[in-house]
Each structure stands twice: as structure tokens, then as C-alpha cells.
Amino acid sequence: MDEHLLRFDKSKTLCFLDFETENLCLYMERNLPWQVGMLKARGDESFDSYMRYIKWYRPANVSPEAAEVTRFRPESVTEHGVDYKQVIQDVYDWTSEAEIIIGHNVLGFDIYFLSGMYRMLGKSPIGIAEKMIDTHALAKGIKLGDVFDRKKSGLLEYQYRMIHTIAKGVKTNTKTLGTEYGIEHDYENLHDALIDLGLNLKIWNKIKQQVAV
């Protein structure tokens, strides 16, 4: 009866997505991602990964405070960065081919940069949000006792409602969730895109047992 739920579906290709950016602005004109990570997964396990530092048409402008939090190092981009045109194409290929895109706050943050990249390629970002699952939104719903119910609303509408619900004292960052779920992980090196996504996958594997998506 519930075979359609993702907790049982081992066939769909999931793309976990995470951008590390200069600041918190939602416009690429003022905030460029300097690192992107993606994981491909089916069922509970990932089977492919992608991480690139991105060389844009201008140097990355990261404040000392943001650099400390995100562990940004200019030399990483200088020495290992890949031209942004190639990265944009890769991101488009991975996300457009995936049946579902998953991320932590992906609807509240990462979608703006993903949409910007689509537009830079001349591709329409329309429809991206419909195939996104935001573990931040779902985790907030679980903590508030307002778990997604498809009889009451669509998943996208529900997720945006959760994102914009103010809940003082309710912590849903990945480190908190990972600790609460008892997940073993490299917490000391979070804010590296692939390390973040590895934790995101583990959190998703817990959340999907609690939410009927």
C-alpha cells in the first residue's frame, strides 16, 4: 500500500546538492558560490559524488568572519578551481537528470543559485522546485508536530510553509539533527560541501522513515 513512498523506492535517482557561497544574499550578482558538492544516491546509499571549487570572472569576496565559519581558503579556489562555465554545465547535467533534488534548506537558499546557473546556460529553471525535497523543512515539521500530510496539501506548498514558519528555540541545522539522531559523522569539518552532503544523506535516511513522501 505504501510502496510508492521513497523509503521503499530503490529505483529513483536522487541528487543531493549543496553550495558554499560568499555570503547569505540570494542574488548571484552579489553572492557567488565558491564550492559546489553533489551526491547521487538510490535507496539509502550514494553511488557517485562531485565536488568542485569554482573560478568565476572575479575573485571570491568572502569576509574574514564568513571564511572562518565556512573554512574558505582563497588558495583552494586558486589552485584547484574549475572554470565556472564547466561547473555550471555539470550542475545542470546532474540536477536535470535527477528525479529528485535533496538538500538542507535547498528551497530557502540553494535553489536561487541553481536557478541562476540554469539561466546562465539559457535553460529555464521552471519546475525545479517541484522535484525538491528540503530536509530542513521536513525536520522543522517533525519537531513542530506538523508532519507532512498529502491529504491536506502538496509537498512543495507544505515545505515552503515550514520554511517560513517562525519557531523560536527549534534547531534544525544538520549538526543538531545528526547529533539528535545519533549519527556518526565528521562534524568537525562541516561546511565542506561533500562532508555536509554525506551528513545530509544520513539525516534524510532518518527523516524518510518519519514522513510519508
Q: Which domains does the chain have, with CATH numbers?
A: 14-207 (3.30.420.10)
| Cα-trace Rg, the chain | 17
Query: DSSP letter at 51?
Result: E
- Grid cell locating 66: 564568513
Contact 18, 135 (CB under 8 A): no
Judged against a pLDDT cut of 60, whether residue 208 lies above it is answered with yes
Q: What confidence tier does 31 reach under pLDDT thresholds 50, 70, 90?
A: very high
Q: What confidence tier does 211 reach under pLDDT thresholds 50, 70, 90?
A: very high
User: What digits encode the pLDDT tens for the residues 45-62?
Assistant: 999 999 999 999 999 999
Of 203, 207, 193, 188, the residue nearest 113 (C-alpha): 193
Task: Give the chain's mean pLDDT.
Answer: 94
Which residues share a beta bridge with 37? 18, 51
- Which pLDDT value is given to residue 4? 81
Judged against a pLDDT cut of 60, whether residue 1 lies above it is answered with no
Query: Which residue type does 62 have?
Result: V
Longest dimension (CA), the chain: 53
Query: Which residue type does 59 have?
Result: P
Judged against a pLDDT cut of 90, whether residue 68 lies above it is answered with no
Contact 13, 99 (CB under 8 A): yes
Contact 169, 142 (CB under 8 A): no
If DSSP codes are grouped into helix, strand and coil, which group holds residue 38? Answer: strand
Which residues share a beta bridge with 18? 37
Sequence-distant (6+) residues with CB within 8 A of 168 are: none
Contact 38, 91 (CB under 8 A): yes
Interatomic CA distance for residues 196 and 187, integer angstroms: 9
The larger pLDDT score, comparing residue 121 to residue 68, is at: 121
Interatomic CA distance for residues 204 and 213, integer angstroms: 11
User: What digits encode the pLDDT tens for the residues 102-137?
Assistant: 999 999 999 999 999 999 999 999 999 999 999 999
Least confident of 26-35, 63-72, 122-131, 195-204: 63-72
- Which pLDDT value is given to residue 91? 98
